[in-house]
Amino acid sequence: MTTVEAPRSLDFIREIVEDDLRAGKHERVVTRFPPEPNGYLHIGHAKSICLNFGIAGEYRGKCNLRFDDTNPTKEEAEYAHAIERDVRWLGFEWDGEPRHASDYFEQLYGYAEHLVREGKAYVDSLSAEDMRQYRGTLTEAGKDSPYRNRSVEENLDLFRRMRAGEFEDGAHVLRAKIDMSSPNVNMRDPVLYRIRHETHHRTGDQWCIYPMYDMAHPPSDAIEHVTHSLCTLEFEDHRPLYDWLIENLPVPSRPRQIEFARLNLNYTVMSKRKLLRLVEERHVSGWDDPRMPTLAAMRRRGYTPAAIRNFCDRVGVARRENVIDVALLEFSVREDLNLTARRVMGVLRPLRVVIENYPDGQTEEFETPNNPEDPSAGTRRVPFSRVLYIERDDFMEDPPKKFFRFAPGREVRLRSAYFVTCTDVVKDADGEIVELRAAYDPATRGGDSPDGRRPKATLHWVSAEHAIDCEVRLYDRLFRSENPEESGDFIADINPDSLEVVTHARLEPSVRGAAPLTTYQFERLGYFCVDPDSTPERLVFNRTATLKDTWAKVSSKQ
C-alpha cells in the first residue's frame, strides 16, 4: 500500500484519492490537464491546472499535459505553444513530452472499429436536422434512426470509406448504439466520429474523420493510465458515456471521472468563444490585453504565479457552482506584490513645485528602503533638487476640512526628504494652476523634525531634473456589471473607462532600463508592471492593481 502524506487541506477530491490509495486501488496517482488548443488559457483553467498538477505533486504521482486536438477547424499551433508557456509560468511541469489526442488517432480509430464489430456502433446517414428531430427532448424519448440496424459488414465498409475520404462533410457519422429512450440525452446514441475535410495542425491531411471529445477523452485517459480524470461539472451528464466507453473498449486501464465546480468570477466572461469575439471585434488589443482574464493577459498586467496559485487555493474545490468575487483575486495579487514588489516614487499627473530657498543647482540623495516588508531587498538612493514634481491630486488651493495634503500655507512631509510649506500658487492666463512655490526646512532632512513637528500628510515626489518620462496605462475592470451576460449582450456591458493612458508620467531614475514584466509599487498609487511595448528610450507601465479596492467604494454608492 502506498504511504500518503496528508496535504495542506483535504477537499472531497483529495479524500477520494486518499481512499483509493489506502485501499490499494492505485500504486501511483496519475492526473492530466487536457485543454483544447483553440484559444488562450484563462483564470478558470488556472484552477484546473492547480488542482491536477497539485494533486499529482502532493501524492508523488504525475500529471500529463494532453491537448484535446480533435477539432481541426478551430485549433492552432499558436494556442498550443501559449498553453505550454502558461502552465510553466504558473510553476508546473508535466510528465514527459506534451501528449495529444492526435497521437492516438490510429488507436482511437481501432477502438471505433471494435465497437462496430461488437454491434455497439453504427454509421448513421441522417442529416444533422433529422438527427436532432430523432433525438427527442428532455421530456420525450428519442426514436431509432432508420440506419440503426445496418449490418456489421455494412457499417465497417461505410466507416472505412469515411476514413478513405469518399464522402462529403456531414454525409455520415459514426454513432454509439446505446439507448434512444435514455433519460440522459447524452446516452441516446451519441456521435463518436464525424467527417471533417480540414487540415489538422499536427497530422496535416492524414485524416478526414475526427473523433468527438466524448469518444477521444475516455480511451486517451485509459491509454495514459490516468487514475483520476478531473473535470468540471458540465461533464457530469457525460460521465455515463465516459464509463460506457471504458467498459466496452479493450483499454489498458480503468480511469475514474470526478467532477468539480468550475471557477466563475463576477465582472468577467470566461467563455473562450466570447473572449475570441472580444479579440476579433477589437474591443481589446489581443488575447494578452491586460483587461482580459487570460493568463497571458494577467502575466502582462503584472499578476504573479504565486498570487494566482494562492487565489486558487483560497477558492478551493467544491461540488456546487458558485460565483467568486473578483475582489478576492485582486486581493491575492496585492498581498503577494506587497511582499515582493520594489517601491519607487512616480507621479502620474505632475504638478511642478519650486523650492525657492533650496540652493539653485544643488542635488542631494536620500536613502530609502526598496521594500519595507522585506529588509533583504536593500535600499536605493533617490535624487532631490530645487524643482520637484508632486501628484496634482495632492494639492488643493481651497481644501475642504478633511483634506490634509498640500495647500497654501500648509506644511507636509516629502517622503524620505524634507518638510516643505506651500508659499505661493502660479496660474496661467486661463486660471489653471501650473506651478507651486514652496520653502523647505533644512533641519528636517530625512523626514523628521528635531522639534517634534508631525505633518498630517506625507507626499511622494520626483526630482524634475532626474525624472524619467514614461507612459502609464491605467487598467480597470473590462465590464461594468457583476454579470456582464445578464442583459443578453455582454459587449454592451463593456466599461468605456477600462483603460486610461497617461502619456507623460514622471518616475524616479532607478526604474531606467527595467526589464519587461518587472513589477513595482508606485508609492501611494498602486502596483505597476513594465509592459513588453517598452523600448530602451521609453518605458511603458501597466497598472496591475490599485493599493485598495476602489470599486468597493463606488459600488456602495450605487
C-alpha cell at 66: 494532453
CATH number for the region 12-260 comes to 3.40.50.620
Give per-residue pLDDT as tens, 465-520.
999 999 999 999 999 999 998 888 999 999 999 999 999 999 999 999 999 999 99
Give the full edge-to-edge strand order of the sheet including 499-507: 342-344, 519-522, 526-530, 540-545, 468-475, 499-507, 346-347
Mean pLDDT across 218-235: 97
Residue 14's identity, in one-letter code, is R
Residues 406 and 394: their CA atoms lie apart, in Å, by 6
Q: Is there a catalytic annotation at residue 272?
A: yes
Whether 300 is catalytic is: no
pLDDT of residue 553: 44
Q: Average pLDDT over the chain, rounded to whole?
A: 95
Predicted local confidence at residue 291, as pLDDT: 98
Model confidence pTM above 0.75: yes
Q: Is the pLDDT of residue 171 over 60?
A: yes
C-alpha cell at 27: 500504486
Amino acid, res. 370: N
In this structure, are residues 264 and 324 in contact, taking their beta carbons and an 8 Å threshold?
yes
Q: What is the dihedral of CA 535, 536, 540, 545, to 10 degrees?
A: 120
- The CATH number corresponding to 346-460 among 3.30.420.40, 3.40.50.2300, 2.40.240.10, 3.90.1150.10 equals 2.40.240.10
End-to-end CA distance of the chain: 59
Q: For the residues 193-216, what does the mean pLDDT come to?
A: 97
- Active-site residue identified among 36, 75, 259, 411: 36
The CA angle 351-354-356, to the nearest 5 degrees, is: 160
Which H or E element spans position 229? strand 228-232
Which of the following is catalytic: 99, 175, 256, 272? 272
- pLDDT for 7 beyond 80: no
Predicted pLDDT of residue 93:
97
CATH 2.40.240.10 domain position(s) in the chain: 272-342+470-557, 346-460
Strand pairing report for 256-260 and 228-232 = parallel
The reported pLDDT for the residue numbered 550 is: 57
pLDDT of residue 431: 95
Q: Indicate which residue of 85, 262, 277, 380 is catalytic.
A: 262
pLDDT at 9: 61
- pLDDT tens for 323-369 read 999 999 999 999 999 999 999 999 999 999 999 999 999 999 999 99
Task: Count other Cβ atoms within 10 Å, centred on residue 318.
Answer: 13
Q: By C-alpha distance, which of 253, 264, 261, 259 is closest to 230? A: 259
At 548 the pLDDT is 85
Give residue 410's Cα distance to chain centre: 46
Domain 272-342+470-557 sits in which CATH superfamily? Ribosomal Protein L25; Chain P (2.40.240.10)
Q: Convert the pLDDT of each residue in 74-115 to its tens digit.
A: 999 999 999 999 999 999 999 999 999 999 999 999 999 999
Q: What is d(CA 250, CA 247) in angstroms, rounded to the nearest whole number?
A: 8
In angstroms, rounded to a whole number, what is the distance separating the alpha carbons of residues 50 and 91? 9
Answer whether residue 551 shows pLDDT above 70: no
> Does 122 have pLDDT greater than 70?
yes
- E-state strands within 315-465: 323-324, 342-344, 346-347, 350-355, 363-369, 379-385, 387-391, 411-414, 419-427, 433-441, 458-459, 462-463
Q: Where in the chain is the domain with CATH 3.40.50.620?
A: 12-260
In the chain, % of residues over pLDDT 90: 94
Digit-coded pLDDT (tens) for 19-53: 999 999 999 999 999 999 999 999 999 999 999 99
Is 262 among the catalytic positions?
yes
Q: Give CA–CA dist 31/81, Å, rounded.
A: 21
